[in-house]
Amino acid sequence: MPTRTPWRRCSGRFWKRSASREASLGRVIRGVAVELRGKTAVVTGGASGIGRALILRFAREGANVVVADLDEPGMAAVAGEAQALGVKALVARTDVTELAQVQALAARAFEAFGAVHVLCNNAGVAAWGALETATHRDWQWVLGVNLWGVIHGVEAFVPRMIARGEPAHIVNTASMAGLIASKGLGVYNTSKYAVVGLSETLVKDLKPYRIGVSVLCPLGVETRIRDSERNRPAALRNERAERVEPVELMGRSLSPESVADMVLAAIRANELYVITHDESLEPLRRRFERMERSILDRRR
């Protein structure tokens, strides 16, 4: 009978294998890092929260920016702040659930600046509540923004990026809820798990084109996602939608600006995972321990 070894105790072996894989990956894609000065960054959900912080962080690096959102006053405000930093800023009202609108966003960005070097598929919403109470409208809304919004970004921008042939980077905003499921967030969890899987595949597919990929997986961040219902279309309203926020995975709350700094560092280092909170380590370890236990139990 094999001895069951906790994941943490075999972590030396695990990390040795991981380091080898990273070294191999590095030989293929090291040097893809994008120099931002004079380049162009597009951010969906760019009017507030993490998106706004990303716009301003890129602007401070000297990148021209395209702010995409549904919040027109918010877009105008952050574009003005970016312009005050000495870069060009374009605003584009965009519903990421509509492929045609994201395609129009891409066309406008490439027409205005000639190329897009950083794309942040960042728009996101959350619906609270247990899965057994989720309505079809909840699924349509959350998957439409969180998952289809990312898919539409990939569809609209990646072929153009490949055609340009310049180093580029894509950042997809997921969540720690895309790595560890949290009670009361089933619809949201589902959307974010899908974004993680999409990103893990995309980084492999785009290696030959010098296009890096990062997936952002934060815990608590000081944003307005708790008030996502304000942006839900009338046709997809759920009058019984819960507004109580689950706290199982929240941890401490970070500022959007600190998260934007981490994203910039990941772009420069061409890192796939942007895991913002140290508190994520133990839940991730427990998850892999359960997976290991399942494998070892079958050997008994």
Closest CA to 150 of 168, 181, 128, 171: 171
d(CA 163, CA 115): 10
Q: Nearest 5 degrees, angle CA 155-CA 156-CA 158?
A: 70
Q: Is 188 labeled as catalytic in the residue annotation?
A: yes
Query: Token pair 């905003």 is at which residue?
Result: 173
Closest CA to 89 of 107, 77, 101, 99: 77
Cα-Cα-Cα-Cα torsion 91, 93, 94, 95, nearest 10 degrees, comes to 150
Query: Tokens representing 95?
Result: 């519903």
Cβ pair 171, 118 in contact under 8 A: yes
Cβ pair 180, 284 in contact under 8 A: yes
* Number of residues written out for the chain: 300
Cβ pair 179, 124 in contact under 8 A: no
Active-site entry in 188, 193, 209, 273: 188
Closest CA to 60 of 261, 266, 271: 261
**Which residues are tagged catalytic?**
188
